[in-house]
């Protein structure tokens, strides 16, 4: 039996509202670091509202676990393979979550990304947990054009649709980041009972932490931040950089991001070759991207991956950098073409190079569009505004 809060909220009319019930809330992630990179402000708000928040994720990460403990969030490791379709590993994930839920008796679950949504959602349903809220940060690679049209690809997509339907059945709310994901949720009839997806503009960005910073004169310095995957557009970025450098030899092209085990991963040898050629500056990885964003003039993400809304772009907007990205769901939601950046066709190296060259030709353009980026971040992507939408959808109050 959970205790009731003694404080009672007062509505706009001055009439006292019923006391808000303290809930046990399970937040489930597929990457431990994402709990602080993407969800820290939301977790703070949940814990600050008096709820007992328990975060589940697969990796042991002392830095993240310490940060969660400091805000009063418990952390539990679970077995989960972030990529791949090994049935035995996925059953292990499902069973682990079910056992934890059975023991801890959460009132509400909030999983995000594909595997947590499916396995936490189904586990919670089997235990009769009614307050099931889902955050679709992207439906997954299998729903993108890059996912393929082969028999195997279509069979996997069909299986994923069925699993999503099982997880979402009688959900309280399903949040989505962009119109394309909302349309796929409807097209594949993942929701029943008249429930519609609720739009939210990504994970949001802390505008105080990512404060506006004027770019240094000179350059230009182009920066891409992403996992080192082919479908993030790394190869296209390098090829476009090679073209731009022929005309603007002083331009610099930087890449920040970690190597990945994904089948589309870029190898260390490829990165080393580009660095040796003098085209690319590889910056490695970091726990704080702000100094690198502040040191660049233009942010570039030529992704053809099925994005939700890329966090890296939101951080660039907040710092005040113009963005060049692709005309794909999620990416295009962050740019007003010609106002705070430029949108190019995915995989079009020539168009990407021309967009980059336009900033090299006109340094003042980056400064003007960078201010517009910050304004867009303030009006559309403020994390506190987005968390208010999440709280309302989940039926929670502060």
pLDDT tens digits for range 158-189: 999 999 999 999 999 999 999 999 999 999 99
Q: Which residue has the tokens 């168009």?
A: 351
Does the structure show a pLDDT above 60 at 398? yes
Predicted confidence (pLDDT) per residue in 136-165, tens digit? 998 877 777 665 678 888 898 999 999 999
* Rounded Cα distance, 111 and 101, in Å: 13
Average per-residue pLDDT for the chain:
92
Q: List the one residue out of 305, 301, 322, 201 whose CA is nearest residue 257.
A: 301
Predicted confidence (pLDDT) per residue in 319-349, tens digit? 999 999 999 989 999 999 999 999 999 999 9
CA distances from 5 to 9, 21, 74 (A): 10, 6, 20
Local confidence band at 45 (pLDDT 50, 70, 90 cut-offs)? very high
**Percentage of the chain modeled with pLDDT above 70:** 94
pLDDT, residue 294, reads 97
Predicted confidence (pLDDT) per residue in 183-209, tens digit? 999 999 999 888 999 999 999 999 999
Rounded to a whole number, what is the distance in angstroms from the first to the last CA of the chain? 21
Per the CB < 8 A criterion, the answer to whether 131 and 107 are in contact is: yes
Burial of 250 (0-12, 13-18, 19+ CB in 10 A): exposed
- Taken in order of first residue, the domains within the chain and their CATH numbers are 24-204+382-394 (3.40.50.2000), 221-380 (3.40.50.2000)
Predicted confidence (pLDDT) per residue in 213-270, tens digit? 998 877 799 999 999 999 999 999 999 999 999 999 999 999 999 998 777 899 999 9
pLDDT, residue 3, reads 38
Predicted confidence (pLDDT) per residue in 72-104, tens digit? 999 999 999 877 778 899 999 999 999 999 999
pLDDT, residue 12, reads 38
pLDDT, residue 20, reads 63
Q: Which residues pair with residue 224 across a beta bridge?
A: 255
């Amino acid at each position: 039996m959970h205790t009731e809060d003694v404080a009672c909220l007062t509505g706009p009319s001055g009439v006292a509202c019923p006391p808000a019930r303290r809930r046990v809330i399970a937040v489930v992630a597929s990457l431990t670091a994402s709990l602080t990179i993407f969800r820290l402000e939301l977790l703070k708000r949940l814990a600050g509202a008096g709820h007992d928040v328990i975060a589940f994720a697969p990796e042991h990460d002392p830095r993240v676990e310490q940060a969660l403990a400091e805000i009063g969030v418990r952390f539990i490791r679970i077995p989960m393979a972030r990529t791949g379709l090994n049935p035995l590993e996925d059953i292990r994930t499902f069973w682990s979550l079910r056992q934890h839920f059975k023991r801890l008796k959460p009132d509400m679950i909030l999983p995000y990304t594909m595997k947590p949504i499916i396995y936490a959602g189904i586990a919670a349903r089997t235990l009769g947990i009614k307050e099931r809220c889902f955050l679709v940060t992207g439906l997954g690679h299998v729903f993108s054009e890059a996912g393929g049209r082969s028999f195997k690809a279509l069979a996997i997509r069909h299986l994923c649709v069925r699993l999503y339907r099982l997880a979402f059945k009688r959900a309280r709310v399903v949040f989505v980041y962009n119109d394309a994901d909302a349309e796929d949720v409807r097209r594949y009839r993942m929701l029943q009972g008249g429930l519609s997806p609720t739009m939210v503009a990504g994970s949001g960005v802390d505008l105080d932490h990512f404060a506006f910073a004027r770019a240094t004169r000179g350059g230009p310095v182009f920066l891409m931040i992403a996992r080192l995957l082919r479908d993030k557009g790394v190869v296209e970025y390098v090829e476009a950089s090679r073209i731009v450098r022929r005309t603007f030899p002083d331009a610099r092209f930087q890449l920040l991001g970690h190597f990945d085990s994904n089948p589309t991963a870029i190898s260390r040898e490829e990165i080393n070759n580009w660095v040796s050629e003098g085209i690319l500056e590889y910056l490695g990885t970091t726990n704080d991207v702000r100094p690198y964003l502040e040191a660049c003039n233009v942010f570039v993400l030529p992704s053809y991956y099925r994005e939700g809304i890329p966090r890296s772009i939101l951080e660039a907007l907040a710092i005040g950098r113009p963005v060049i990205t692709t005309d794909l769901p999620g990416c295009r939601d962050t740019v007003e073409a010609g106002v705070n950046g430029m949108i190019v066709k995915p995989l079009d190296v020539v168009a990407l190079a021309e967009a980059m060259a336009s900033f090299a030709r006109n340094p003042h353009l980056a400064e003007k569009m960078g201010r517009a980026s910050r304004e867009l971040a303030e009006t559309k992507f403020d994390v506190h505004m987005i968390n208010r939408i999440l709280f309302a959808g989940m039926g929670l109050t502060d």
